[in-house]
Chain A
Amino acid sequence: MSEEKLNFGHVSYEETYPVVSRFSKKLKDGRLIGSKCSKCGKVFLPPRRGCNNCFSTEMEEIEIGTEATMTAFTVIHFAPESFSDKAPYIAAIGKFEEGVSLLAHLVGVTSMPSVGMKMKLVPQEIGKNRIVYKFIKA
């Protein structure tokens, strides 16, 4: 019997594949896991099953710190149809100390954010089978 999947994101546009489900389950435990190619050392966040640099599939798990610096943000006012009831919301890109970045919602801020602000990435469970990460102000 196949393991139960843990979906990622506020909505899903594609199937939840094992590489995503594994990531989601670790996120549920509060761990942010990327992948590092055992052959060339390239680091991927979110994780990938294979390395696009040397095509090795020997990938190690690497834990990424959750403190990030904002490199870009936007406040979405006119949202895609499936997010219409959620607008306005802030989407930001945060860069982690390991040099990799993620895009996520920034929540809990009361004034306009600014590039360079310190943020922390935390998991947010949405119902039983779904999880996402979000930035909060550090």
Chain B
Amino acid sequence: MSDDVVIVGAGHSKFGKRKDEGIRELAFEAVQDLLKDFNKGLDDIDASVVGIAGEEFSGQGAPAAVVVDEIGMAGKPTLRVESACATGTAGIKAAYGWIKAGFYDAVMVVGVEKMTSVSSARATELMARAGDVRWESPFGVSFPGYYALMASAHMAQYGTTREMLSSVGVKNHFYGAKNPLAHIQKEVSLEEAMSSIPIAHPLNLYDCSLISDGAAAIVLTKESLAKEFTDTPIKIRGIGSGSDNMMMSERESLTSLRGAKMAAQKAYKMAGITPDQVDVAEVHDCFTIAEIIATEDLGFFEPGEGGKAALDQQTYIGGKIPVNVDGGLKSKGHPLGATGVSQAVELRKQLLGEAKNRQVDGAEIGLSHNVGQTGQFVNVMIYSR
């Protein structure tokens, strides 16, 4: 029997506008949290993978090295990964590959981003450059703008409404208010969400994820070694990935991410499960429309039904599939490089029954869906006890 790769430790910084902390302090905080209930020390970890999406935000060139030093891993093999907003899961996948290949027994994955040191207009500019700078960014399409294009197509094709979009934000703030690590721990009414200022029509303020600072860290090892680290390992059961055309105008669909559909199919196949067996999902809600499309691409709802399902509260705890019950990118926050690792940390809590007042009872299988740019990078991960 093959030796599975397991998560044996996890840590998470507070997400938010962390004006007194840079990437070093944020990563340190996540690893400090990880070491609190870790049976081993840093000496027992052989290598590290650092996920950071952009150096423009932090000011540090080749920023992984300062992180590695700050978390006490200097001298050991390391690697920086970047896959835009899917950087965190790309890091987990890289570490998984290292362990499966037999390079190292135990690897730490740290995802971190410092984003609030630049103005919102500047951050919008930097992220817009993740669009095609030759043919599409020269029209000033912001990152919300690209997802707004998809939203307009989804609304026209399926009758998805503004109210459906807003209901996703309302849910994510409802759960974010219960998450002490979330950036904005505040509930929002449907009326407030619907009447907030427009950012990129049809998306308004409460349809857009937050520009946040934060870090998350996990340690992976082989299942056969897990007992040395913890009594409660979490298995990585499936990993699937996909991508898409660079230009929005060349996509075969504007109402679905083909990379996400491919990633989901591969991950389900590897794990040997079907979508209805997932107990709790963390999906990449960089925008409300992204969560609606994600729940369709992942097979939780039929194409075009994701908006109605959100409005009918099918994605709350007690509904068909609880989604982003930690607040998601919308309320917990979205420090780019940290997000995919944060999803793993949250799912581990859920699968260990440690999610307190936002616990999905008896959750055994968790799914993480992490998207880079507007679908150019996608990783879907399946975790279980």
Contact = CB atoms under 8 A, between A and B. Distances in A.
Partners in one complex: yes
A120 interface: no
A20 B134 contact: yes
Q: B interface, by DSSP: helix, strand, loop or mixed? A: helix
B133 to A, nearest CB: 4
A127 interface: no
A39 interface: no
Interface string A69-90: 0011111111111111011010
A4 interface: no
Contact of B140 (A76, A93, A112): A76
B197 A80 contact: no
A10 B249 contact: no
B293 to A, nearest CB: 13
B140 A82 contact: yes
B142 A80 contact: yes
Contacts, number: 122
Interface stretch (B22-30, B122-130, B171-179, B327-335): B122-130
Contacts of B117: none
A101 B138 contact: no
Contacts of B153: 71-72, 115
Contacts of A105: 139
A80 B125 contact: yes
B139 A91 contact: yes
Given A91-B141, A103-B247, A103-B248, A80 B201 contact: no
Nearest to B147: A74
Q: Which of A12, A77, A102, A114 has the most CB of B within 10 A?
A: A77
A103 B134 contact: no
Interface in A24-80: 46, 71-80
Contacts of A18: none
Interface string A2-33: 00000011111110000010000000000000
Contacts of B125: 80-82
Interface string B240-265: 00000001111000100000000000
A71 B120 CA distance: 29
Contacts of B250: 100-101
Interface of B: 119-122, 124-125, 128-129, 133-142, 144-145, 148-153, 155-156, 197-203, 247-250, 254
Interface of A: 8-14, 20, 46, 71-84, 86-87, 89, 91, 93, 100-105, 112, 114-116, 132
Given A8-B134, A46-B134, 11 more contacts: A10-B138, A10-B140, A13-B137, A72-B248, A75-B200, A76-B140, A79-B140, A86-B140, A105-B139, A112-B201, A115-B153
